[in-house]
Structure 1
């Protein structure tokens, strides 16, 4: 019983909390944009499946808590029928039905009768909410705690490494990497980790002079305390990491928001770049993580935060801060993934609206339905593949092999 409770506390509960916050904010983005544009909303659900609690507000919106807390959704008026993927004929049928029921004045409030720009705004509001959540989390943490910054000054250049071949020297201060300004050593890791086998330009300050160096990060397999065993790009440099080398930086509200926005943008850039390399086959797809992998990382992040804590309050604070940072990173990823032009995702809806704007009529319902089926198959296939990677990474099949050998 005790091991089960420990697993629940360290893995399941943190995972559900992080995912719940990220998905709820995403759906709130759709909801608030729809409300602001006068759209009729039937339901806002946190979680799927049968409701364990529900109530209606004064506007007639049903708020629901589903028993399966792994997502959520907003249901607009009219979504319960075939008009969820409407063409011109479906819209005409819905209009006639509403008029026949004496509900003609409500037509303008139905999502599918809204102008294209309003529908696109409502759809895009979900991913935008994810990006705003990440900015808010980063800014709040920076404003509350500040951060310890390790300057990007090299202390050690390992022999027979890309850095040594490129001419890096101890004492060099890296000020630019791959065109990005560098202010801390973490900026270097962010660039190098995803650029293995990619020639990359660096600019260093060497004795007051700017020197340009070109290096190609090499693959290295490492055991990260959070991410586990993974292949990443490395240069072969190490910074000075004594207590006096770290600089504590405090931020005011405006500075924290600017820094939070910059961190969110950098995370998005890195995500897009890494995904592009994965699609083109430059990075092994087995690095892709699914729900099990995210749950494992979430548990390790919570456990890492609890290490060295002084009492329950300190443990909850440390773990909470770590989980908030992870939630911000996941929120950026979910916001970006939802903007991909794949039917069933928000980006797929935006793609259909772009067609409608050009053709001046919705895409045929049959074509939309086929697109949604293909999109759903792609998303489910990707999730299954990522879950397979998770099981391989967790060595589940090795365990089964031991049981039956």
Structure 2
């Protein structure tokens, strides 16, 4: 850990962002592609390439099975290319498949059963979720978790909390039935609840009181100068040293904690995306590779533990993103397989090609939009 921390601390300027970002992305991408790779190999699929990054190969080697393992120049993802694929998105190469011999056809992804293909595709996102569980679990096991009581130390005048009747000394017990164990639980719920009425149960001098309040969407600036719009109640909490409890976790407790933390991130992410569609959140908070690099560099200054925590969060996000039903992504392939299961036969090559073209356009549009948000975010933060 100390060696990694010294490497990240050594970076200054652009390198201070690039090195941590590459570290985080390479871990997340490697395990995503490793999920595809391992299940494909178990299913008897011949694997042509395993690449971290896209574009020109920087260096690589062949393993005993003939798979080319390589690092490529553009570190914004990766791919596993199977026998019979036209490209890195596993689009079937119809001409190559028709000219294949019996042995080659046996090793092709597209010759496998529907369930085998679905398992190979789903293995990538599953590996991301598993990586997140392992990282969160290990952090809990080795470092525990700092817990501070969800106590109200001050109330901002004319804020949502003031209007709801919060008082100094109130301790929040639950929000809409969800138990509150630490003040960080309050922040996580309130941040994504702007405009939503919340029923908050508080302990006031031994008496339980129910308060209704609606967080207000407010622009805040974090410790690194980044601006974001989140739900705010108008409550301040002072983390006094004597209040902090360091909770320890055994192996099973830590493993389960990794599961619950991963589920919590999935739940919050889907909730945020849903709120965008109904107009309760702005899509300008969505970030791309530039934002990842910026945040990675900033988080690296807090220590290696914080950086691994970011890697776990990013792993969940990439796994979830890949499950979206967009052709070119894993979720799009799973939709095609679901339709194949319903119809009893695959979609026609022309239909699949059209779907992949639409998916490619959507993915590029999303990347352009996210990059635009990143650039705008950086200019507004400076």
1:164 Cα offset (Å): 2.1
Give the secondary-structure state (helix, strand or coil) at the position aligned to 1:6.
coil
1:348-368 superposed Cα distances (whole Å, 9 cap, x missing partner): 000000000000111111111
Task: For 1:37-116, list aligned pairs within 5 A.
Answer: 37-80=43-86, 84-86=90-92, 90=94, 97-99=99-101, 104-116=102-114
Does the 8 Å CA contact 1:220/1:232 hold for their aligned counterparts? yes
Paired position in structure 2 for 1:330? 314
Does the 8 Å CA contact 1:154/1:237 hold for their aligned counterparts? yes
Of the candidates 260, 268, 271, which is equivalent to residue 270 of structure 1?
268
TM-score by length of 1: 0.86
Structure 2, unmatched stretches of 5+, are: 1-9
1:96 Cα offset (Å): 5.2
Give the secondary-structure state (helix, strand or coil) at the position aligned to 2:142.
helix
Report which stretch shifted further, 229-238 or 163-172.
163-172
Aligned residue-pair number: 373
Give the secondary-structure state (helix, strand or coil) at the position aligned to 1:211.
strand
Give the secondary-structure state (helix, strand or coil) at the position aligned to 1:24.
helix
Give the secondary-structure state (helix, strand or coil) at the position aligned to 1:153.
coil
Does the 8 Å CA contact 1:83/1:94 hold for their aligned counterparts? no
In 2, Cα distance between equivalents of 1:219 and 1:84: 42
1:157 Cα offset (Å): 2.5
1:227 Cα offset (Å): 6.8
Paired position in structure 1 for 2:252? 254
Report which stretch shifted further, 210-219 or 342-351.
210-219
Report which stretch shifted further, 265-274 or 65-74.
65-74
Matched, 1:27 2:33: yes
Matched, 1:390 2:374: yes
In 1, Cα distance between equivalents of 2:20 and 2:324: 27
Give the secondary-structure state (helix, strand or coil) at the position aligned to 1:120.
helix
RMSD between aligned residues = 2.3
Matched, 1:359 2:343: yes
Give the secondary-structure state (helix, strand or coil) at the position aligned to 1:169.
coil
Does the 8 Å CA contact 1:264/1:332 hold for their aligned counterparts? yes
Paired position in structure 1 for 2:355? 371
Give the secondary-structure state (helix, strand or coil) at the position aligned to 1:225.
coil
Paired position in structure 1 for 2:186? 188
In 2, Cα distance between equivalents of 1:208 and 1:34: 59
Does the 8 Å CA contact 2:89/2:328 hold for their aligned counterparts? no
Change (3 A) 1:96 1:376: closer
TM-score by length of 2: 0.91
1:208 Cα offset (Å): 4.3
Paired position in structure 1 for 2:7? none
Change (3 A) 1:179 1:120: farther
1:358-383 superposed Cα distances (whole Å, 9 cap, x missing partner): 00111111111111111111111111
Paired position in structure 1 for 2:161? 163
1:198 Cα offset (Å): 1.1
Structure 1, unmatched stretches of 5+, are: 306-317, 400-405
1:153 Cα offset (Å): 2.2
Does the 8 Å CA contact 2:152/2:167 hold for their aligned counterparts? yes
Paired position in structure 1 for 2:232? 234
Give the secondary-structure state (helix, strand or coil) at the position aligned to 1:385.
helix
Paired position in structure 2 for 1:294? 292
Change (3 A) 1:82 1:332: closer
In 2, Cα distance between equivalents of 1:218 and 1:273: 17
Paired position in structure 2 for 1:309? none
In 2, Cα distance between equivalents of 1:82 and 1:284: 32
In 2, Cα distance between equivalents of 1:38 and 1:226: 49
